[in-house]
Amino acid sequence: MPQTIIELLNNAAKANYADNSRKQNVICLPANGNLIVTGDIHGHRRNFERIVSFADLDNNPETHVVLHEIIHGGPQDAHGGCLSYKLLFDVARFKLRFPNQVHIILGNHATAFINNSDVMKAGKEMNRAFRAALEREFEQNAGDIIQAIRNFLLSLALAVKCPNRIWISHSLPADKAADDFDPEIFNRPITETDLQRPGSAYLLTWGRRHSQQLLDKLASLLDVDLFVLGHQPQEKGFAQAGDNLLIIASDHNHGCILEIDLTESYTIRQLVDSVIPLTSIA
């Protein structure tokens, strides 16, 4: 069992790097088909199952799915340990089943796991709870499993760029960190230093509350019109947070997803109108 999990994660990491839409650290999607964008999932298995059902990739070979922030949340073991690694394993299986349709991007909880740094959620330090549950289940093999998870998370792309000028990433650099952010991070190999504060991958995944001035500057820099992010909690499952920014959350019972036709152009209003509540999916 442990060796099977290690092989699963290693093979999924290889599939992340080999994704035929990947250019360096950005997934550049083709100008056909549909895209389903999720927000943070944080261990919410039922919502992940709804996403898989809605996408129906077996019957929709031109549909793409973007996933991020899988870990830290959801079910716990008897000691309060975080069991979201079980969902992460299923996401790795999903990637291997549809290697060029499922695209997983880096989030701040993934960078925290890679760095083994503290990250709080609902009053709990999640890395400690996550690693403790892994150690209880896998015992002497836990270290190898943890390393395989780390390697898998290191293989994730940073963003998705759509042909209709929509950009998807977990977040964007905060205003106060914008001058320290190096956009070349999208075009070169990511180092561990990039994932640590104040590295550019760290800044990309941790930023919140972006000004319209910064959003407009980044839109010009990245040659896009609209942004779709996660990271910032949304009680209603989504929010328009700027003239060109939509935030999606998929980690609770009011969670949502976004469906985009890659052949069509969108205004921010049309993007908001394309949000789908996950509870509407059987």
Residue with tokens 């910032």: 232
Q: What is d(CA 18, CA 241) in angstroms, rounded to the nearest whole number? A: 34
The domain segmentation of the chain, as residue ranges, is 2-280
| pLDDT tens per residue across span 53-101 | 999 999 999 999 999 999 999 999 999 999 999 999 999 999 999 999 9
Residue 10: pLDDT above 90?
A: yes
Full-prediction pTM beyond 0.75? Answer: yes
* HSE-CB for 215 with a 13 A CA cutoff: 21
What per-residue confidence (pLDDT) applies to 23? 97
Q: Angle at Cα 20 formed by Cα 17 and Cα 25, nearest 5°?
A: 45
Q: What is d(CA 271, CA 132) in angstroms, rounded to the nearest whole number? A: 40
CATH number for domain 2-280, candidates 3.60.21.10, 3.30.70.270, 3.40.50.720, 3.30.70.1380: 3.60.21.10
Residue 124: pLDDT above 90?
A: no
Instruction: Give percent of the chain with pLDDT exceeding 90.
Output: 97
| pLDDT tens per residue across span 39-57 | 999 999 999 999 999 999 9
Cross-strand bridge partners of residue 28: 161
211's tokens? 């000004």
Neighbour count for residue 220 (Cβ, 10 Å): 9
Residue 7 binned pLDDT confidence (cut-offs 50, 70, 90): very high
242's tokens? 């700027």
